[in-house]
Amino acid sequence: MNMPDEKYSEYLESTCDQEPILLQKINRETYLKETKAHMLSGHFQGRVLSMLSKLIAPKQILEIGTFTGYATLALAEGLQAEGIIHTIDIDEELQERVQHYFEQSEQRHQICYHLGDAVDVIPTIEGQFDLVFIDADKKRNKIYYEMVIDRIPSGGLILVDNVLWKGRVLDDTPDSQTRQILELNTFLAADQRVEKLILPIRDGLFVLRKK
C-alpha cells in the first residue's frame, strides 16, 4: 500500500470509535513523560484489543507487560461483570502513576496489578485465561506462551504484540533480536494447538485461537 504511515494511521483512527477520555489522557501523558512512548498500544490498536475482548467476553484476562496501563484498560472493556484482568509488569517506577490511572477507571475493581517477573507471577494466579496479551520481554515470549497455552480453554485467545518488528522480519540479514521474533513466528505458525493469523496493524499483532 503506497500511503504515508502517518496518514494511514490517521485514517484508521478516524474510522474507528474514539478512545475513552481516560485512555486519551494516558496516551497524551505517556508521550509527554516516557522515553519509550512508542511501546503504548495507542488509539487504533487499543480499539482492536477492546473489540477482541468484547467478542469473547472473558471471565479472566492475563496481560504480560503493563507499561502505562493503556492496553490493560482497553482489554478490560470486554470483561464480564464479575471478570478480572491480571496485568504484570516489572517496572516499579511506573507503579504509582499506573495505579492512579486504574483507580480512575470504571473497571478499577476488576484490575489486579502485579509487580514482578512474569515467570514467577503467572504460576501464582489461579484458573484459566480466556484471553492472554503478551507484550513484554520479546526474547522470553515463547516461554510466556508455553506457560499459558495449557491454561487457555477452547476458543480462548492469545495475542502477541510486535511480531512484525517494524518490518525487520523481511530483512535479508536480520539482526539477533529480529531472529528471535522470526523464530517465535515460525514456531507459532506451526503450532497445531491453535488457529492463527497476524494482523498487520501497528507493529504486528499475532492472534491465536485455541482449538
pLDDT tens-digit series, residues 147-174: 999 999 999 999 999 999 988 899 989 9
pLDDT tens-digit series, residues 67-122: 999 999 999 999 999 999 999 999 999 999 999 999 999 999 999 999 999 999 99
pLDDT tens-digit series, residues 107-116: 999 999 999 9
Provide the CATH number for the domain around residue 59.
Answer: 3.40.50.150
Full domain range(s) for residue 111: 5-210
Bridging pattern class, strands 131-134 and 157-161: parallel
Number of independent structural domains in the chain: 1
Q: Are 164 and 191 in contact (CB under 8 A)?
A: no
Confidence check: pLDDT of 4 > 60: no
**Nearest to residue 21, comparing CAs of 113, 101, 80, 94?**
101
What is the reported pLDDT for 1? Answer: 41
Per-chain mean pLDDT for the chain: 95
What is the reported pLDDT for 190? Answer: 98
Which pTM does this prediction carry? 0.94
